[in-house]
Each structure stands twice: as structure tokens, then as C-alpha cells.
Amino acid sequence: MRSSWSQTIKRHYAKDSSQNKYITTPIFYVNAGPHIGHLYSAVLADAIVRYNNMLGHQTFFTTGTDEHGNKIKNAAATADLPNLEYCTRISQQFREMCDRFEVDYSRFIRTTEKQHCDAVYHFWKRLEERGHIYLGKYSGWYCVSDEAFLCNTELVEQRDSSGKVIKVSAESGNIVEWTEEENYKFRLSAFQNDLKYWLKDENTVRPALYHKTLSQWIDEGACLQDLSITRIRNKVPWAIPSPCDKSHSIYVWLDALVNYLTVLGYPNESYKELWPPTIQIIGKDILKFHGIYWPAFLIAAGLEPPKTLLCHAHWTIDHKKMSKSKGNVISPFEAASDYSEEGLRYFILREAIPQNDANYNSTKIVNILNSELADTLGNLVNRCVGKTVNPSKEFPNPARYWNVLQSQVADETRESLKSVGRKARKSYEEYNLHHVVDAVMNMLYCANKMVTYHEPWQLRKQVDNADSIKELKAVISLALESSRIGALILYPIIPRLSSSLLDFLNIPKENRTWANTAPEFFNNNSLKERHIEHNNLLLFKKIRSQ
């Protein structure tokens, strides 16, 4: 069986050329409502989906909520609600987060759905039939808060408030307890070589920092002890019962991970049309579960593991860890009331670098949104569509006016327009969305310099001078062409704002693909003279300092 699976994996691990892209967020745990870390995972995934759509790929994008385990049961008790009613209430908050922040999912799953329970049972039986599950004794450290079994290398000692030495998770800082019980176990130890093979492709886990971390874990093997995949049911009653022994509950992480199959209709054969996942977005705190347990479960079941895990770091608040005890958990809904949904989405995707913790700071948010969205982008458009400069609301044909302006700033603008699409595409492919924004802002900065240099408001006064009017039209054309290309490239990051600008510029829906990010000077089929909307556009309202 093992050698035959190796042959299977070698056949499947070819360069991905499929037009179908299956992209997922982690499903969010409903022990509490959404915070900006959840929002970041969701909008990062959505931006990658929208970028792939612009390239012409067919995408299937899933998100949802993880609703089993003792933490949920305890949270429901604290809220004085029945478990399912509590889960429904919090799940709805995550759905609302997605809807308000333009996270355009194809399927929103809840792990309390009957369809999911059926998929988990089928997956369990598949593992059982293939000899990967056995009844055994578990003795080791378990973290109730993290719902995780931990090995010694994942623990640190510290003193509690009374001075007593206790063991805690090195990752989360949560207390662990020694547990001994008879559980159903998964033969994780048998999959070290398969996991090493999966990781041979460096693109399997991005960025490289997390690929290196995961490879070290697997090489060392400490996290590859056989894994308990049930708990005694009277200890974890709010969970899916084991199909082979109703006195046991299925481990919440096995349950949760199968969601990525459930959403495709598994075990119905139709799931194979999109399997395996193209990109799975996860936070660094769940790398072990998605980078060790998940591919091992799939390989054991005879399924191909994900093509790419995109792992991102966390958010700090004014350089401090976000936590309930510190009272600094940021709600996306409250933050949106200060900065707007689109503004917050822009800041989060503009500020975060996948391999480094990002910092949430109110002053920085206001400065970035005002400087880049209100001033650099918004002001460029407004300078070229006002009654004084452009009373007839023209968007002069860029192909006709491309080479009219003879100045260094115009040359810089043209060069920037020619290269920005290539630079942005490279950054999207590398999941560095902050570099996408950098490329666009540099291009818009050049365009604003060009407008300032050529002074279109002065050119408009020389109505009897044909050369001045031609220069005026060239300035407007080059500036609005910069706005058009900037809006297209930023569409995956700020879809609502970009769509408003493209609508204002009268860009047809069919001309909003990635191919259209090339300057129209190079497009033989470019539109002739067009006009923009006559209504004024306030692209982004400047935020007053708080």
C-alpha cells in the first residue's frame, strides 16, 4: 500500500495548470465573535480568489465556522444559551463579517450541519478500513484551551500566581494537563516519509519560513507520535460521536479538517472535480494541524494533500499581543465604524506581511488611508474630472495621446504604467499584497507629479491654443489611465472602491480582467473617446484624526 501510494503521489504532483482553483480559509472557532485576525484570513483569501478570477480561472472559495468542543460548550454556558443556539448566534457574526467586508465565498459551512457529520463518518470509516485506526492507551499532555495534544518539545515551564511550577503550551501560553485514557488512535507515526515527500516542493508551504519550520518538525519526528482521534464522550460531550464506539467523541481537529471535503460534496464523487485544494490560508498557530495531521489524514485515506498552505502571522495591537484579558481585542465591526469596511480591508492587506506579525495602530491607519486612498488615488482622479479642468467629462483615448507629453515626469509615468502590471502580478503570485500596493502607489505618485508639472488648470485657460488643448487632453488621459490601471490592480484588495472608480470611468465589465492592466496604448482594440460619469465621485472620505 505504501509503495503504491508513493507512485500515486508522483503522478499527481505535477505543476498546477488547472483552470479550477479551490481556495479556503480556516473555519473560525465560535468560542467568541470575530476579531481582526479572523478578518485578515478571510480578506486575504478573498483577494487571492479575486485575483485568480481576473486571470480567467474558475474558483471555488469556502469559509465557515468550527462549532464543536468543550470551549464552545463552556462559552454557551456562560452566555446561558443552548449549545446549538449559541453556535448559530456566533456563526452568524462570522457570516456577517464576510458579507460586510466583501468576502465573496462560494460556500459557508458549519460543522454542526448533518451533511458534515455524514462526511466525517465516511472519512473515519475510510481510515478504519485502510488499517490506520486502532484502540490504544493515551498518556500525555493535553491543552483544553487549544483542544490540542502536545509533546514535550511544545511545552515550557513557568510559575503560576502562587509560585507553583506549571507546564504551558509554548505556542499559546495556555495551561496543559496530564491525561491518561483509552482512545482510538491514528497511526500518525507511519507517515513521516510521506510528509517529507509532500514537502519536497517548496511551494507546498508558503512563505519559506513556515516551510522550514514544518520540515524541522517532521524531520525531528517529535510531533509524529500516534494521535488520539477520540476523547471519552462524558469528558467531551459537545462533539460528533465516534461511529464505531458511541462512548467516544471524535477529536475536534479531525472533525474540523474534514470540512474542506464536506463543502465539495464528499463522499459524492463530484468532490474530485476540485480536489485537492489549490491554496489553504491558515494562521501560524494552526500550522501543525494543517501541515502534519491534515496531509497525513488525507494520505491515509488515499487522497491527495493540498497543493499549497499559505500560512500567515498574527496581529498585535500597538505592539502588544491581542487578548481578552488585556481588553485589546479589535472587533472588525467597531473598527469599520471608524475607518469604513473598505478602509479597514485596505489597511489590513496593505500592512500585513505573511511571515511577520503585523501591528494595528489607529494613528497609522488614519495616516495610510488619508495619504493613499484619499490623497494619492482620490486626488488624482478629482484633479482631472472637475469642472474647471474637464467640463465635458472626457476620458481622452490613451492610445492617441500616449506620447504627446514631452517631459521627464511624463516619461516616468509612462514607464511606471508599462511595468506596474508585471510587478503587481509577481507580488500577487508570491502572496505579497503589500508589494502590490507599493507598486500601484508608486505609479500613482508618478501620475500626480506629472499633473502638477503640466498644470492642466493653466492649460484649460488657453482655449484658443491647439497645442495647449492637446497637452491638456494628454494630461487628463495619462492621469485617468493611471487611475484605471490602479483600480484594476487594486480590485482584489478593495473591490468595492475599485468597482466604484471603474464604474465612474465607464469601464465595461468585460474590460476588467488582468489582461486589461496593460496600458491601452498597447491594446489594438482599445476603446475610442469615452466619457466619464457626470456625477461627482468621492472615492474615499478623509478621516479626521481621532
DSSP state of 535: S
Is the pLDDT at 16 greater than 60? The verdict is no
What is the share, in percent, of the chain residues with pLDDT greater than 70?
95
Q: Each residue of 359-375: pLDDT tens digit?
A: 999 999 999 999 999 99
Q: What is the pLDDT of residue 181?
A: 87
Closest CA to 172 of 192, 199, 143: 143
In the three-class reduction of DSSP (H, G, I as helix; E, B as strand; rest coil), residue 246 is classed as: strand
In a domain, 215, yes or no: no
Instruction: Answer yes or no: are the C-beta atoms of 342 and 496 closer than 8 Å.
Output: yes
Both 392 and 450 in one domain: the answer is: yes
Is the pLDDT at 11 greater than 50? The verdict is no
In angstroms, rounded to a whole number, what is the distance separating the alpha carbons of residues 415 and 482? 11
The beta strand positions in 382-426, using DSSP E, are 394-395
Both 492 and 424 in one domain: the answer is: yes
Is the pLDDT at 410 greater than 70? The verdict is yes
Number of neighbouring beta carbons within 10 Å of residue 436: 26
Contacts of 291 (CB under 8 A, 6+ apart): 205, 210, 214, 217, 309, 311
CATH number at residue 95: 3.40.50.620
DSSP string for 18-76 = -SEEEEEPPPEETTS---HHHHHHHHHHHHHHHHHHHTT-EEEEEEEEE--SHHHHHHH
In a domain, 544, yes or no: no
Closest CA to 376 of 494, 262, 542: 542
Report the largest interatomic distance among the alpha carbons of the chain, rounded to a whole angstrom.
93
Q: Which residue has the higher pLDDT, 355 or 180?
A: 355
Q: Each residue of 248-288: pLDDT tens digit?
A: 999 999 999 999 999 999 999 999 999 999 999 999 999 99
In angstroms, rounded to a whole number, what is the distance separating the alpha carbons of residues 454 and 430? 37
In angstroms, rounded to a whole number, what is the distance separating the alpha carbons of residues 418 and 394? 23
| Grid coordinates given for 273 | 472535480
Lowest mean pLDDT across 69-83, 492-506, 527-541: 527-541
In angstroms, rounded to a whole number, what is the distance separating the alpha carbons of residues 287 and 252? 16
CATH number at residue 462: 1.10.730.10
In angstroms, rounded to a whole number, what is the distance separating the alpha carbons of residues 121 and 124? 5
Both 382 and 505 in one domain: the answer is: yes
Instruction: Answer yes or no: are the C-beta atoms of 402 and 414 closer than 8 Å.
Output: yes
In angstroms, rounded to a whole number, what is the distance separating the alpha carbons of residues 136 and 299? 22
**Angle subtended at Cα 61 by Cα 312 and Cα 84, rounded to the nearest 5 degrees:** 90
Counting the structural domains of the chain, the total is 3
In a domain, 235, yes or no: no
Q: Which residue has the higher pLDDT, 529 or 283?
A: 283
For the chain, give the mean pLDDT. 92
Both 163 and 288 in one domain: the answer is: no
Both 384 and 437 in one domain: the answer is: yes
Both 383 and 471 in one domain: the answer is: yes
Alpha helices in 303-407 (DSSP H): 332-339, 341-351, 362-368, 380-385, 398-401
In a domain, 219, yes or no: no
Instruction: Answer yes or no: are the C-beta atoms of 506 and 534 closer than 8 Å.
Output: no
In a domain, 168, yes or no: yes
Q: Which residue has the higher pLDDT, 364 or 19?
A: 364
Is the pLDDT at 526 greater than 70? The verdict is no
Instruction: Answer yes or no: are the C-beta atoms of 3 and 42 closer than 8 Å.
Output: no
Q: pTM for this one?
A: 0.92
The range of the structural domain enclosing residue 140 comes to 133-186
Q: What is the pLDDT of residue 524?
A: 57
Both 367 and 476 in one domain: the answer is: yes
Both 418 and 475 in one domain: the answer is: yes
Both 87 and 172 in one domain: the answer is: no
In angstroms, rounded to a whole number, what is the distance separating the alpha carbons of residues 485 and 422? 12
In angstroms, rounded to a whole number, what is the distance separating the alpha carbons of residues 288 and 123? 20
Number of neighbouring beta carbons within 10 Å of residue 223: 19
In a domain, 411, yes or no: yes
**H-helix or E-strand spanning residue 219:** helix 208-220
Q: What is the pLDDT of residue 13?
A: 39
Both 122 and 142 in one domain: the answer is: no
Q: Which residue, 285, 308, 339, sits at the end of a domain?
A: 339
Q: What is the pLDDT of residue 7?
A: 43
The pLDDT confidence band at residue 415, using thresholds 50, 70 and 90, is very high
Q: What is the pLDDT of residue 172?
A: 78
Q: What is the mean pLDDT of residues 281-298?
A: 97
Q: What is the pLDDT of residue 205?
A: 98
**Angle subtended at Cα 263 by Cα 259 and Cα 269, rounded to the nearest 5 degrees:** 110
The pLDDT confidence band at residue 152, using thresholds 50, 70 and 90, is confident
In angstroms, rounded to a whole number, what is the distance separating the alpha carbons of residues 37 and 34? 8
Query: Within a 13 Å sphere around the CA of 472, how many CA atoms are in the beta-carbon half?
Result: 24
Handedness of CA 34, 31, 167, 138 (dihedral sign): negative
In the three-class reduction of DSSP (H, G, I as helix; E, B as strand; rest coil), residue 316 is classed as: strand
In angstroms, rounded to a whole number, what is the distance separating the alpha carbons of residues 169 and 150? 8
Number of neighbouring beta carbons within 10 Å of residue 369: 23
Q: What is the mean pLDDT of residues 388-393?
A: 91
Q: What is the pLDDT of residue 528?
A: 63
Closest CA to 46 of 4, 134, 106: 106
Both 157 and 124 in one domain: the answer is: no
Is the pLDDT at 6 greater than 70? The verdict is no
Q: What is the mean pLDDT of residues 381-395?
A: 91
Q: What is the pLDDT of residue 523?
A: 67
Lowest mean pLDDT across 15-19, 464-468, 506-510: 15-19
CATH number at residue 158: 2.20.28
* Buried-exposed string 115-147: b where 16+ CB fall within 10 A, e elsewhere: ebbebbbbbbebbeeeebbeeeebeebbbbbbb
Closest CA to 132 of 182, 190, 183: 190
Both 26 and 108 in one domain: the answer is: yes
C-beta contacts of 202-206 below 8 A and 24+ residues apart:
203/307, 203/308, 204/306, 204/307, 204/308, 204/309, 205/287, 205/291, 205/308, 205/309, 205/311, 206/308, 206/309, 206/310, 206/311, 206/354, 206/430, 206/431
Pairing of strands 245-250, 241-242: antiparallel
